[in-house]
Chains A and B, each alone.
Chain A
Amino acid sequence: MVELTINGTSHRVDCPGDEPLVYVLRNRLGLPGTRLACGLEQCGACLVLVDGECRYACTLPVADCAGRAVTTVEGLGNEHALHAVQQALLRHNAAQCGFCLSGIVVRAAALFRDEPRPSPADIRAALAPHICRCGAQPRVLRALDALAAGV
């Protein structure tokens, strides 16, 4: 049994401690926003925050999250109140297939939390671990540059 706090809600989950967080979120807690893509910490689609730090849920054993606060993309905004990063991405239609978006939203939310006015170089460095295969990167960058500039 592992005790977890996900997006502010406490859960007791009966699963092996070595089960990566991504399966727990998706299959046991009904939170599909954390995407499983590479399973190798190489693409960023599964990014979550654990006690505010960016972590790859595809390999992170759930036991390592016990007693810590996990934030997923579902915890950042909802249809009534989008997170500023989600708003910026929506305003710029910054996606094609969108499979990479959850991880990018989480990464950018952490960046803007720590540095409300990141430079273009900061934004590019922060997103470097993420893959967008559709080529929507220029739109994502335009959206986040505009957010950083307060536009």
Chain B
Amino acid sequence: MTELPAGLKRYPELDRWVRIDPADTVTVFTGKVEIGQGITTALALIASHELGVAPERIRVQTAHTGVTPNELITAGSMSVEQSGAALRQACAHARRHLLEAAAARLGVPASELAIDDGWISAPGLNERVSLWALQGGEPFRRRIEERIPERPPAPPPARQTRIDLPDKLLGRGVFLHDLHWPEMRHARVVRPPTFRHRLEGFAGSEFIDRGLETAPTAAAGVRLIRDGSFIAVIGDDEYQVVRHAERVARACRWRLVSPLEGVPLGRDSQAFLLDGGTPVTGPVPPLGFEPTFSASYSRPHLMHAALAPSAAAACWQGGRLTVWSHSQGVELLKRTLADVLGLEADAVTVIHVQGAGAYGHNGADDAALDAALCALAEPGRPVLLKWTRTQEHRWEPYGPAMRVDLAAALDGAGRITGWSHEVWSYTHAGRPVPGERGSNLAAAWLRAEPREAPPAVPRLEPEVGIHRNAWPIYALPAPRVVKRFVAPGPLRTSSLRSLGAHGNVFAIESFMDELALLAGRDPVTFRLEHLADPRARAVLEAAATLCGGVTGPRGVALARYKNRQTYAAVVVEVEVDPTTAAVRVPKVWIAADAGRVVDPDGLINQLEGGAVQALSWTLKERVRFRSDDIESEDWVSYPVLRFDETPEVITRLLDRPEQPSLGAGEATAGPTAAALANAVFAACGVRVRDMPLDAERLREAAAA
């Protein structure tokens, strides 16, 4: 590997990445953000290893526009691959510079020196010098122009304590929701019931107001601002703001502008044939073989459903807007806010502060514009705005519904000789982007002079959105894989953890079991007969060994995320209640190959967490809506997996220190979904092809 990581090509100044603090600590800078995935811990471990400083001494500054390198969005399981690679190389440069400086100071060749928790010395040498004595508080003033050798991998720590965990266990104010300034105002929005509703009027005249002017209200120190259908309540006392927002909400009369209807999946679409995971324009050829078997699979719209409703803080002072947000893309958000508000981009700063785990594009960016609109009405005072549970459930952009039609031909020897995969879905790309075409920030749609959402367009990059993991991992003759982009959908949609991979892998790996049955093979053997990639074979075999055999009420499934990141094989064991058809999952086994392991416990945490979340999606979740309303508005109407339904999860990592580290946070979603469906079939002989695999669907499938 001779090329510099992309981040270092864009930001070659070493000082953008590493700072030796005045004493005792080192600060590293990343354009990525902590969303509960443990990235700050992983990056601290990378810097610790390269610099020879204990992890406890590493401070990680996460995304802050204008301060940290712009590393775009924290998404796609790319943070260790991108920011980790850049930081590792930047720290190697810092180390080389520090060793050269120490060599001059100590009169010993740099090649003989070593760093031990910040102290530089050589064997047998009585003198030593610290990083801080050499460089503390001083910029390096060096450019990174070439790739230099990094330190050889060392065995990673068995369990590195998450650096953010003690504060969270002690209940400290580490979240965005906990921000506090003496002059701070609290705010809530009053939202229409859905994104297709607008304000028609108020029931009570006490609420009538003009534009963004202050309106008289009953509660002291509390004001209402309105701009079209954008309504917010602002005040010093949070509870008074909450009460008043509830009163205003009761007084609002909403009008459905257009029904929650879209083009059904399976009808009109823009179709693209895939070539090795990349869509190409041009005609889509017909099937071209006589299928032995075909089947159609589906998933409904799913929610991110972050535990904490979205929030943001903003302050408008001296012509500058500062926003504190838990957005996964602060740089995009900065430019989009400037665009919507008619400000120069340089007048806007966005600082990431942790919220609850988001798992993709949820309400975070919308809340940032809401807070900014409130801040503009309250010059000089920071405003902390929080959504309610119901607003998050009703307004977040959902993970879109999907439909996958599969067909295959088998020869007499049980080998697949023809393969067709057609995936239908709505856009998975609803993140805010600056530009003339409109805005994806919800409040922009609601203002008196609205900006509409830009029309969704199909994305044609490799392995994105709808077609992520549509290309099979198996060695098959000329797979015919078709992306079918459908617009518009009935609901607002965007990126949910793993994007199309959840639906595509659910379908492919369910179908592989169905084909194995037809071919008279067991699921593991049938897969191995079609797998050429040795790393894929290794994780599948490791998972089968780990669980003691894919037998009884167990199912297995496998994928390599985006066909270029982490390999994961998952075995799920189920119990199906013969009376109620309820499915329980007592146990899950995971085997994964994420290349070189940086933080094994953090990696296992991500793989496990992804599997448990995908179990929840696949077993229980479905956004319920009618043409005039969204019915999933809280944890009762949108149930998720609870502690008493949680399986035991056993994970085995196949460490490959000689290989690059691969993103892993989304790798288990697809395999878990399919392994669950395969286990249900193994347990009771019913093939469920439509998520969620709840009792209702199980009974339907059994009756079909």
**Taking beta carbons and an 8 Å cutoff, which residues of A are in contact with B?**
15-16, 19-20, 23, 26-27, 31-40, 42-43, 45, 72-74, 77-79, 82, 86, 89-90, 93, 95-102, 105, 124-125, 127-141
A99: which of B239, B357, B644 is its contact (CB, 8 Å)?
B357
Binds A, one of B105-113, B343-351, B436-444, B646-654: B646-654
Contact A138 B612 (CB under 8 A): yes
Binds A, one of B171-179, B191-199, B203-211, B424-432: B171-179
Q: Can you pick out 16 interface pairs between chain A and chain B where the beta carbons lie within 8 Å of each other?
A: A19-B239, A32-B171, A32-B173, A40-B635, A45-B308, A77-B170, A89-B165, A93-B601, A98-B174, A99-B308, A102-B171, A105-B171, A133-B305, A138-B646, A138-B647, A139-B608
Minimum CB–CB distance for B209 against chain A, Å: 25
* Complex contacts, A36 vs chain B, CB 8 Å: 177, 308, 386
Query: With A20-B239, A27-B238 in contact, is A134–B613 under 8 Å at CB?
Result: yes
Contact B239 A23 (CB under 8 A): yes
Most buried by B among A93, A97, A99, A124: A97
* Complex contacts, A20 vs chain B, CB 8 Å: 239
B644: which of A35, A77, A127, A134 is its contact (CB, 8 Å)?
A127
Contact B612 A137 (CB under 8 A): yes
Minimum CB–CB distance for B488 against chain A, Å: 28
A90: which of B165, B305, B644 is its contact (CB, 8 Å)?
B165
Minimum CB–CB distance for A56 against chain B, Å: 13
Minimum CB–CB distance for A102 against chain B, Å: 5
* Complex contacts, B643 vs chain A, CB 8 Å: 124, 127-128, 130, 132, 137, 140-141
Chain B residue with the shortest CB-CB distance to A37? B308
Contact A45 B170 (CB under 8 A): no
Minimum CB–CB distance for B646 against chain A, Å: 4
CA distance A93 to B162 in the complex (A): 6
Pairs of residues from A and B, 3 with the lowest C-beta to C-beta distance, nearest first: A33-B171, A97-B36, A135-B612
Query: With A35-B177, A45-B307, A93-B605 in contact, is A133–B640 under 8 Å at CB?
Result: yes
* Complex contacts, B648 vs chain A, CB 8 Å: 138, 141
CA distance A40 to B633 in the complex (A): 11
* Complex contacts, B357 vs chain A, CB 8 Å: 96-97, 99, 133-134
**B35 contacts the other chain (Cβ, under 8 Å)?**
yes
* Complex contacts, A40 vs chain B, CB 8 Å: 389, 634-635
Contact B611 A135 (CB under 8 A): yes
Query: With A36-B177, A39-B388, A138-B646 in contact, is A96–B171 under 8 Å at CB?
Result: no
**B626 contacts the other chain (Cβ, under 8 Å)?**
no
* Complex contacts, A86 vs chain B, CB 8 Å: 169-170
Contact B649 A43 (CB under 8 A): no
Report the count of interface residues on B (CB-CB < 8 A): 61
**B168 contacts the other chain (Cβ, under 8 Å)?**
yes
Contact B356 A99 (CB under 8 A): yes
Minimum CB–CB distance for A144 against chain B, Å: 10
CA distance A111 to B675 in the complex (A): 34
Contact A96 B354 (CB under 8 A): no
Q: A98-B174, A99-B356, A133-B613 are in contact. List 10 more A-B contacts (CB 8 A).
A: A26-B178, A26-B238, A27-B237, A35-B177, A77-B169, A82-B170, A96-B357, A133-B305, A133-B307, A138-B648
* Complex contacts, A135 vs chain B, CB 8 Å: 608-613, 616
Contact B168 A95 (CB under 8 A): yes
A98: which of B164, B237, B610 is its contact (CB, 8 Å)?
B164
B307: which of A100, A124, A125 is its contact (CB, 8 Å)?
A100
* Complex contacts, A132 vs chain B, CB 8 Å: 307, 643
Minimum CB–CB distance for B305 against chain A, Å: 6
Minimum CB–CB distance for B654 against chain A, Å: 20
* Complex contacts, A141 vs chain B, CB 8 Å: 643, 646, 648
* Complex contacts, B172 vs chain A, CB 8 Å: 32-33
Contact B635 A43 (CB under 8 A): yes
Q: Scan B139-180; emit 1 where CB is below 8 A from any A CB, else 0.
A: 000000000000000000001011011101111111101101
* Complex contacts, A43 vs chain B, CB 8 Å: 307, 635
* Complex contacts, B175 vs chain A, CB 8 Å: 32, 35, 99
CA distance A36 to B389 in the complex (A): 10
CA distance A140 to B648 in the complex (A): 11
* Complex contacts, B38 vs chain A, CB 8 Å: 96
Query: With A90-B165, A97-B354 in contact, is A134–B609 under 8 Å at CB?
Result: yes
Contact B612 A79 (CB under 8 A): no
**B642 contacts the other chain (Cβ, under 8 Å)?**
yes
CA distance A39 to B610 in the complex (A): 26
CA distance A53 to B189 in the complex (A): 34
Minimum CB–CB distance for A64 against chain B, Å: 15
Contact A37 B389 (CB under 8 A): yes
**B306 contacts the other chain (Cβ, under 8 Å)?**
yes
Minimum CB–CB distance for A67 against chain B, Å: 21
Most buried by B among A20, A38, A82, A86: A38
Query: With A23-B238, A74-B171, A90-B165 in contact, is A136–B309 under 8 Å at CB?
Result: no
CA distance A35 to B171 in the complex (A): 8
Minimum CB–CB distance for B277 against chain A, Å: 27
Chain B residue with the shortest CB-CB distance to A15? B239
Query: With A132-B643, A136-B609, A140-B643 in contact, is A37–B307 under 8 Å at CB?
Result: yes
B356: which of A78, A97, A105, A129 is its contact (CB, 8 Å)?
A97
CA distance A36 to B648 in the complex (A): 29
Contact A78 B170 (CB under 8 A): yes
Query: With A27-B238, A74-B170 in contact, is A35–B308 under 8 Å at CB?
Result: yes
Query: With A124-B643, A137-B612 in contact, is A34–B171 under 8 Å at CB?
Result: yes
**B641 contacts the other chain (Cβ, under 8 Å)?**
yes
- Find residues 377-411 in chain B having any chain A CB closer than 8 Å to their own CB: 386, 388-389
Minimum CB–CB distance for B41 against chain A, Å: 9
* Complex contacts, A26 vs chain B, CB 8 Å: 178, 238
Q: Scan B314-349; emit 1 where CB is below 8 A from any A CB, else 0.
A: 000000000000000000000000000000000000
Query: With A33-B172, A37-B309 in contact, is A93–B161 under 8 Å at CB?
Result: yes
* Complex contacts, B166 vs chain A, CB 8 Å: 79, 90
Minimum CB–CB distance for A13 against chain B, Å: 12
* Complex contacts, A136 vs chain B, CB 8 Å: 605, 608-609, 612
